Chains A and B, each alone.
Chain A
Amino acid sequence: MASIGYAHPEVLVETAWADQHKSDSAIRIIEVDVDTKAFEEGHIPGAVGWNWQTQLADQVRRDLVPKADLEKLLGQSGIDNTTTILLYGDNNNWFAAWAFWQLKIYGHRDVRIINGGRKKWLAEGRALTVDLPVLEQKTYRASQPDNSLRAYLTDVMKVAGSTNGWSLVDVRSGDEYTGKIFSPPGLPETCQRGGHIPGALSVPWGKNVNEDGTFKNVNDLKSLYETLGITPDRKVVAYCRIGERSSLTWFTLKYLLGYENVKNYDGSWTEWGNLVNAPVARGERP
């Protein structure tokens, strides 16, 4: 089984398990996609779709979804504090991981990711529907946000360039890291400068996953990070462009490999790459 050896195997479920349990009353399946229209194309029967742009972010300032809004979203989705939430989505679970990260910040106890996400579910020919489930309104009480899981600009400023004890991990593509391109091809450019935060190591998110969208086995993941000196004793900050790809790396390091101190810098390159007078490194060297 793929999850053998992971530090917290309970946070990952296989598609077959999700298929078997998709109608359990204690479970709610949530789809979160990069492409916010994908859910309407067809989704796992019983699943609820969340829009990362309008439902998982503050709608006034740039920030995470406010606590009260998350409580309302969860209640409307038929979720209370005892519900097991199964997350999945497109792009190998980018925004499923983003939702996972926010749910952990707000203290949800049992949240899991469907290994392989939407891609694997489709490839396996598992059932889809375009119908929406009938949901029972629940009451949800979120915890105060656990900001130990999150890095702010001020945190990153302290370690940029001299990362003693810290590892900065840039999970974007190689061309975004070097500064050759400003955004993934075909997506809007949202920064003024290309390059990376000085001292950051390049470990593109895709190195965490297999061709079928599932996470790599524990030995491959250990080798990937430890050969670069990103070892469990270090404090790690992962970043990308807007924080969703890096939440997948955050998930990998914290839950699959068991790193104690891992933060996701959701400001990421759209914050750093727009700052006046911020140090920027270009090219392949950290």
Chain B
Amino acid sequence: MNILQPEEYKERTESIPPFEVRVMSYRLGATYHCTVYNLDPGAVIVRSDGTTRNEAETKALTRAKGRLASAAHRLNED
């Protein structure tokens, strides 16, 4: 069984107006994995990976913005 150690685990909060999201990333072997959660209630929005942390996070955040756009649109309608 091939065993790997997750390394460089990081979390931070970012704003994708009008929402806040939590960005979690870590490295497993040669791959960086990133998951974006909505801050409240804390559900996974998207997940992505890349060869660098920046690549993994940029891809994930771009997709998260797309997913959150419709929710923001509804809020603006109210």
Contact = CB atoms under 8 A, between A and B. Distances in A.
Nearest to B36: A186
Interface string A198-229: 00000011100000000000000000000000
Given A41-B33, A186-B64, A187-B45, A126 B38 contact: no
Contacts of B44: 34-35, 38, 90-91
Contacts of B30: none
Interface in B53-77: 64, 67-68, 71, 74-75
Given A91-B44, A181-B75, A182-B74, A125 B6 contact: yes
Contacts of A92: 42
B15 interface: no
Nearest to B64: A186
A244 B34 CA distance: 23
B77 to A, nearest CB: 12
A222 B67 CA distance: 37
Nearest to A187: B43
Interface of B: 1-7, 9, 19, 24, 26, 28, 33, 35, 37-38, 40-47, 49, 64, 67-68, 71, 74-75, 78
B43 A34 contact: yes
A184 interface: yes
Given A91-B43, A125-B7, A129-B3, 20 more contacts: A34-B43, A35-B44, A38-B44, A41-B33, A41-B47, A41-B49, A91-B37, A125-B5, A127-B3, A127-B5, A128-B4, A128-B28, A184-B38, A184-B40, A186-B38, A186-B43, A186-B67, A186-B71, A204-B41, A205-B42
Given A185-B68, A186-B68, A206 B4 contact: no
Contacts of A185: 19, 38, 45, 68, 71
Interface bracket on A = 35 or more
B1 A131 contact: yes
Nearest to B47: A35
A123 B41 contact: no
B47 A245 contact: no
A239 B57 CA distance: 33
Most buried by B among A122, A183, A186: A186
B6 A126 contact: yes
- What are the 7 tightest A-B residue pairs by CB atom distance, in nearest-first order? A186-B45, A173-B41, A186-B67, A185-B38, A184-B43, A35-B44, A173-B40
